[in-house]
Amino acid sequence: MDAAAAHVDVEALAGQREGDDPASVTSPKEPAWKRFLHHVGPGFMVCLAYLDPGNLETDLQAGANHRYELLWVILIGLIFALVIQSLSANLGVVTGRHLAELCKTEYPVWVRICLWLLAELAVIAADIPEVIGTAFAFNLLFHIPVWVGVLIAGSSTLLLLGMQRYGVRKLEFLVALLVFIMAACFFVEMSIVKPPAKEVIKGLFVPKLSGSSATGDTIALLGALVMPHNLFLHSALVLSRNTPGSVRGIKDACRFFLFESGIALFVALLINICIISVSGTVCNSNHLSPDDLAKCSDLTLDSSSFLLRNVLGGSSAILYGVALLASGQSSTITGTYAGQYIMQGFLDIKMKQWLRNLMTRSIAIVPSLIVSIIGGSSGAGRLIVIASMILSFELPFALIPLLKFSSSSNKMGENKNSIYIIGFSWLLGFMIIGINIYFLSTKLVDWILHNSLPVYANVLIGIILCPLMLLYVCSVIYLTLRKDTVKFVSRHELQTVDASKSKVVNDCDYEENKEQLV
């Protein structure tokens, strides 16, 4: 490609990023298992998007409605998630930039600003279920009002994010610890209810859709899995490791991050299986009271605790509260962390870390606080549904740039994906986008048909929504068909250039010394 066709960005320096953790430097002489351990951490931060309170609520309802029949959806969804997350990690490793930085350099100003606003909206929408879930957990464990729990969730997240000053590895360890606390709680819950192992395994490997709501619950499960802010976060977290610019160093890093993400998502899969199995066993018991049956028909994060207390006893509800607290608190950490990278990448704002944390946390916590004060627990629960719709709306504006960049020779160079991976990832990406758009449109249509507004108000809403949906579709097409204009110097190419310069300098020094001797 000639100079007129592509602008070359030579600032993608291999591994030379401010804030790299010195402890993450690897040596090719170390054993493979030691080098792998240096790469452990980002996957556990990322897997929390599949364990946040929003996913927890979706799992609970799916289990209540269909017992173990939809476990296969979780298995397939997390396999799909592993493919998408590996693309994000590879993009950061190869280019030395994260997704938000690449978007800033690639797109025109007006597109960049729109993508930034949508990414910030995604962080806020993802944070709403996390903050509310944490507040519900505080209410369950300590009997404090939900709005007070929202304030505690925000302030405690800022305190935990203060661990960044001691290095990102410490924060990753804390998040991994919370993941395993969550796993332990749900494993204990599962041992209490004792679901039939044969039916659980059958539900995991035999696809089946029965019942009028099975399709809708399947779409809700898949739609809740891929989070837009997660794609920005994973490509940024891998940059904390000082990856060598050699071919072997890049390939090793991509492989290690893939294995590490696979392990973390496997833990997430086990936790999701436990949640659905517990809900499916409890809500399909023959000894439920009419009130508990009514709760099972519309399970929320709040009502689930009362259901478990009534059926299994107080200790089970406490375990649920601890798991919900670990889920919400750890998810808010990663959400705020993603917000930092999004703001820094799109806007390149230079500010102190604590101030950036405070800004991101304040923007995300305000909607949850207002709704919890005005509407209480029921209003906060409805806000979770609205947040899931916003995330479904925003997903293409993070996923399409990721697919474009990871398939581009301008960005990835010789590390560009093979034609088979490109074809599969695009097919997978558009399938996920289609599922999310279907989920969003059905929710909107259902709301328009069943709300209590006058007819003229619904007509007016339809008139407003039609051009907005057309603009939405045109934006997705634009991002898909637009050609890349910026070529990045990869880590390996940059290392080759540096080696050539060093060779030229050494040759010149040798000639000068030779002339002086003569």
Q: Which pLDDT belongs to residue 1?
A: 43
Mean pLDDT by 10 residues, the chain (518 residues): 44 43 57 83 87 84 86 88 90 90 91 91 83 85 84 74 72 86 88 88 86 73 77 90 80 90 92 90 79 76 72 76 86 82 82 69 72 64 72 85 87 80 85 77 77 78 82 89 74 51 47 51
Q: Which pLDDT belongs to residue 495?
A: 52
Q: Assess if residue 518 is contained within a domain.
A: no
CB atoms within 10 A of CB 161: 23
Q: Which pLDDT belongs to residue 270?
A: 92
3-class SS letters over 242-294: CCCCCHHHHHHHHHHHHHHHHHHHHHHHHHHHHHHHHHHHHHCCCCCCHHHHH
Q: With 0-12 CB in 10 A as exposed, 13-18 as middle and 19+ as buried, what is 94?
A: buried
CA-closest candidate to residue 217, choices 95, 411, 59? 59
Q: Which pLDDT belongs to residue 11?
A: 42
Q: Which amino acid is at 202?
A: K
CA-closest candidate to residue 230, choices 115, 325, 337, 114? 337
3-class SS letters over 178-237: HHHHHHHHHHHHHHHHCCCHHHHHHHHHCCCCCCCCHHHHHHHHHHCCCCHHHHHHHHHH
What is the C-alpha to C-alpha distance for residues 61 and 387, in angstroms, rounded to an integer?
17
Q: Which pLDDT belongs to residue 249?
A: 82
Q: Which pLDDT belongs to residue 8?
A: 44
What is the C-alpha to C-alpha distance for residues 48 and 129, in angstroms, rounded to an integer?
13
What is the C-alpha to C-alpha distance for residues 21 and 23, in angstroms, rounded to an integer?
5
**Which parts of 313-454 fold into alpha helices (H)?**
314-347, 353-394, 396-406, 409-412, 419-450
What are the two backbone dihedrals, phi and then psi, of residue 488, each rounded to the nearest 5 degrees?
-105, 145
8 A C-beta contact, residue 159 and residue 303: no
Q: Which pLDDT belongs to residue 10?
A: 40
What is the C-alpha to C-alpha distance for residues 285 and 111, in angstroms, rounded to an integer?
53
Q: Assess if residue 357 is contained within a domain.
A: yes
Torsion of CA 191, 194, 199, 205, to 10 degrees: -10
3-class SS letters over 440-480: HHHHHHHHHHHCCCCHHHHHHHHHHHHHHHHHHHHHHHHHH
Report the Cα–Cα distance between both ends of the chain, in Å, rounded: 46
Q: Assess if residue 143 is contained within a domain.
A: yes
8 A C-beta contact, residue 492 and residue 250: yes
CATH assignment of the domain containing 403: 1.20.1740.10
Q: Assess if residue 413 is contained within a domain.
A: yes
What is the C-alpha to C-alpha distance for residues 355 and 61, in angstroms, rounded to an integer?
38
Q: Which amino acid is at 335?
A: G
Q: Assess if residue 304 is contained within a domain.
A: yes
Domain of residue 291, residue span:
32-487
Q: Which pLDDT belongs to residue 319?
A: 85
**pTM of this prediction exceeds 0.85:** no
Chain centroid to CA 48: 7
Number of domains forming the structure of the chain? 1
**Cα angle, residue 407 at apex, residues 265 and 478 outer, rounded to 5°:** 105
Structure tokens given for 61: 């309802």
Q: Assess if residue 23 is contained within a domain.
A: no
8 A C-beta contact, residue 239 and residue 340: no
8 A C-beta contact, residue 381 and residue 372: no
What are the two backbone dihedrals, phi and then psi, of residue 97, each rounded to the nearest 5 degrees?
-130, 155
Q: Assess if residue 183 is contained within a domain.
A: yes
Q: Assess if residue 10 is contained within a domain.
A: no
Three-class SS state of 349: coil
